[in-house]
Structure 1
Amino acid sequence: METLELLIRNTSEVLTVEGSPQEPAERALTPQPHACVGVRRGRIWYVGSESALPPGAVGPSTRVLDAHGQFVGPGFVDPHTHAVFAGERAAEFDLRCQGATYLQIAQAGGGIANTVRATRFASEEDLIRLALPRLQLMLEYGITTAEVKSGYGLTLQDELKMLRVVQRLSTLQPVELIPTLMCAHAVPEEYREWRESYLDLCIQEILPAVAEQGLARFCDVFVEQGAFTHAEARRLLLAARKRGLQVRLHVDQLSASGGAELAAELGAASADHLEHVSEAGIQALAAAGVSAVLVPTATLFLRVRPYAPGRKLRDAGVNVALGTNLNPGSAMSENLPLALGLACLENGLTAAEAYWAATRGAALALGLSSEGRISVGDPANLVIFSCSNYRHLPYHLGINHARIVIKGGHVVVEQERALCA
């Protein structure tokens, strides 16, 4: 028989995460104590007891990785990032620490507009050079798949430039990238007095070009005071759906606006942020089967309250996902383990629910059928951690415990880490 290319052995447990969001998370993680994982042709070939491996499965060419009694799980899936951008906004961070609000900074010409100016000035090569170290950090944290949005171009030329960069980055490094068009991130400065004209540009020029060139899977809109209204979002997203793009929304982040209800009405793949979601909005998301993507690092970074009600969302039966929201203004961090800890401390999730949200829950929010789990036949995207169980990840706050990261059956990160409890 054909031998395995890779075998992971001597684990405390393998979290295969093959359950559903409707069952208790501890059960949905579907742990297999002391299991081994076999990989062949870049895919999961075997999960189970090492003693039950078929004869001849392990040969001289098989690379054997010793987990040293620590746990193995699927590669993390980050369902919400803005990882492609130019410039930085450290001065705005300092202003916020002195008491300025996100809206005050934006109204003074900072915020998204600041990054738009820098990103428009940057070439594709500049954006690739800047994004590669961010993606490498994400990979080192165990993220093997990530969604990436445009939205810092806000012209036809620059939105296409950003999405081409995402496409090129997919071939230059191991993290699988899921592209999202977000031309409705903000109304650009030159259109402040002509909002309707900018929306026309998005619908009549940017959307068709993106769809024809196959540059995005999703279309996202920021629905918020100072950004876009319900009516504007509905018009753009219905047009996007006609062009074959799936729908996502940034909603209820800074104020309660009924954004979750809009996401439910539109049958969105996800409603993201949700810090101010209403009880009616939670029930609407559950009834419509819309995933909730929580980004607690942004809530921390912006120094705002409340955190999104993860406990209420889970209890209502909503699939909850967890992302970094990596971006230069409201979450300048690739640290998904920090988001795991915050999800438990502030969003009300258990450790198992947070782990689900960063793996299978996130994959479901992106419509990815074979990511965020360890299932025979699926791509071998795996992490060997330096701790014996998943509860240690949120508990040891913000610390990276990913020791070995495997993407498509290949070891892409191998880090020396002290083994923890």
Structure 2
Amino acid sequence: MLVKCTTASRHLYFQGLHPEPSLDHRLRSALLRRLGLRFEPSWKAAVKATLLIRNIGQLATPAGTDAVRGSSMDRLTVIKDAAIAIDLERIVWVGPEADLPPIDDPAPNEIDALGRTVVPGFVDSHTHFVFGGYRDEEFLWRAEGVPYMEIHERGGGIATSVNATRAASVDELMALAGNRLARMLELGVTTVEGKSGYGLDLETELRQLAVMSRLSSLQPVDIVPTYLGAHSIPMEFKGDPSGYVDYMIATVLPRVHEQSVARFCDIFCEKGVFELEESRRYLEAAAALGFKLKLHADELYRLGGAGLAAETGAISADHLLKADPVDLVKMANAGVVATCLPLTAFVLREPYPDVKAMMTAGCAVALASDLNPGSCYSQSIPLMFAIAVLYMGMSAEAALTALTLNGAAALDLAGDRGSLEPGKLADALILDAPSYRHLAYHTGMNIVDTVIKRGKVVSIRS
């Protein structure tokens, strides 16, 4: 269901920037415009802007400063013939171009959207983009049907990535990760979460996080760093997951906190890796240091990770392929974002997440790529969007919400980005399409033409 605003965006007027004009006033204004007369209604206060995006055929955005839950994800604000006024990094006005208020001097730069569609920048809230080495041979083994344990016996699995990442220098990781970020930007990603987790030791985990910190100042995509030392059990602690948790709590978490290189801590809460009690102990220690929490939960087994996410006040729980419906309700009640990773299920040929169950439970659902060297070497937003609509039963409106505002909420950033509203960061995409629905309809194709990040054009194809 759409909330269409074709003459005046009631939602945006309620942002407190303008009183809503009377119907009589609007009709007089429209008549004078049709007569070709210049007229600025008295209710329009001038705004200061450094950039105007004009001639937007369709503007589509979720709304609000918090995650959108359940069936509300199926609603967008859609404005025809729209414009956006931006002052430096922030949006100051959004609405029908016919209602654009006067702009203070000096005159701003302008972008002609050529009647195309504008949506918020995408927020990819779950990736592992800093790693060394590749596992393409393992990918083909899996495609041939080789079981996981046999792949492990052949030398595959996460240990391959750990060894390659430990051996990589900062400069090597910078080059590899920088190239991946550049491709994300072309696909419309303006904010990305990045996890460590391919070192499983103090030195390499800090190196991965340092790479993210350095890249943050060298390219336009905002990076939200997550410490994921609890990704697997390293060889040094083989058979002793509890001992490895003790090591992280005593040695690694304090150093990561001291250096301020991660906002989140994450753990792979899974049978045979980190069980519930080990995960709880680790998460409580991380929270005590001030880290915000995330979980890889209930991907392979119904262990109860989704319920633990609710119990510990995590910002998000991710994967959730086997999550208990009761735990989904607990997540919804606790405000935990349910992050679905369709590309991983696609690559592993596993059933897709039950988004309908999550939305029925009242969860806010986010979509993310899970870019990583093993189970999902892909950051393809177009493929992910198509899978969400074609195979997971999401509406185009829900998928766009999941990839923008709810992705921001999964990083605790919904108050700052994820929608095109006054006060938020000016992160916007111009699509080479007449409607946002083409994100699914033009299946698997990148239709992002122009990327605007913090009020600046940072990528353009046409």
TM range (shorter): over 0.9
Per-residue deviation, residues 82-110 of structure 1 (Å, max 9, x unmatched):
00001000001000011024454346542
Question: Separation in 2 of the partners of 1:321 and 1:49?
Answer: 29
Distance 1:186 1:378 in 2: 37
Deviation at 1:218, TM superposition (A): 0.6
Asked if structure 2 preserves the Cα contact closer than 8 Å seen for 1:180 and 1:219, the reply is yes
**Structure 2 counterpart of 1:35:** 82
Equivalent in 381, 384, 398 of residue 444 of structure 2 = 398
Query: CA offset at residue 136 of structure 1?
Result: 0.5
The structural deviation recorded for 1:255 is 2.1
- Distance, in Å, in 2 between the alignment partners of 1:58 and 1:66 is 20
Which residue pairs with 1:309 in the alignment?
Answer: 354
In structure 2, the CA distance between the partners of 1:347 and 1:73, relative to structure 1 (3 Å rule), is same
Aligned counterpart, 2:213: 167
- The equivalences for 1:6-405 within 5 A come to 6-19=51-64, 21-22=68-69, 24-27=72-75, 29-57=76-104, 62-102=108-148, 104-106=150-152, 108-304=154-350, 306-368=351-413, 369-405=415-451
Q: Is there any run of 5+ residues in structure 1 with no aligned partner, and where?
A: 417-421
Structure 1 range deviating more: 310-319 or 86-95:
310-319
- Letter in structure 2 aligned against 1:283: V
The DSSP-based 3-state class of the residue aligned with 1:117 is helix
User: So what's the TM-score if we normalise by structure 2?
Assistant: 0.86
Measured in 1, the distance between the counterparts of 2:336 and 2:149 equals 28
Q: Give the letter aligned to residue 67 of structure 1.
A: A
- The answer (yes or no) to whether the contact 1:17–1:356 under 8 Å persists in 2 is yes
Structure 1 Cα separation of the partners of residues 229 and 239 of structure 2: 17
CA distance 1:354–1:216, change in 2 (3 Å) = same
Query: 2:47, 2:92 within 8 Å by CA — same for their partners in 1?
Result: no
TM-superposition CA deviations, 1:330-386 (whole Å, max 9, x none): 111111121111112222211111110000011111100211111112211110001
Range with bigger deviation, 191-200 or 398-407: 191-200
Q: Distance in 2 between matches of 1:103 and 1:224?
A: 16
| TM-score of the pair, normalised by structure 1 | 0.94
- Aligned Cα root-mean-square deviation (Å): 1.7
Q: Cα offset for 1:30? A: 1.5
- Shift in alpha-carbon separation, 1:199–1:2, aligned structure 2, 3 A: same
Distance across 1 between alignment mates of 2:184 and 2:101: 36
State the 1:253 CA deviation.
Answer: 1.0
Distance in 1 between the 2:148 and 2:327 partners?
24
Q: Which amino acid aligns with 2:233?
A: V
Secondary structure at 1:30's aligned position in 2?
Answer: strand
Using the TM superposition, give the Cα deviation of residue 278 of structure 1 relative to its aligned residue in structure 2, in angstroms: 1.8
2:17 is matched with which residue? none
Percent of paired sites with the same residue: 44
Check 1:279–1:256 CA distance in 2 against 1; reply closer, same or farther (3 A cut): same
**Secondary structure of 1:168 counterpart:** helix
Q: Which one-letter code corresponds to 2:257 in the other structure?
A: A
Q: For each residue in 1:203-254, what CA deviation from the matched residue of structure 2 results, as whole angstroms up to 9, or x when unmatched?
A: 0010000011111111000112342111111111100000100111001112
Q: Which amino acid aligns with 1:48?
A: G
CA contact (8 A) 1:21 1:317 kept: no
**Counterparts in 2 of 1:237 and 1:104: CA distance versus 1, 3 Å:** farther
Partners of 1:58 and 1:291 lie apart in 2 by 43
Q: Distance between the aligned counterparts of 1:201 and 1:176, measured in 2?
A: 31
User: In the superposition, relative to structure 1, how do residues 310 and 152 fare at CA in structure 2: closer, same or farther (>3 Å)?
Assistant: same
SS at match of 2:56: coil
Between the aligned partners of 1:266 and 1:104, the Cα distance in structure 2 is: 36
Distance, in Å, in 1 between the alignment partners of 2:121 and 2:416 is 11
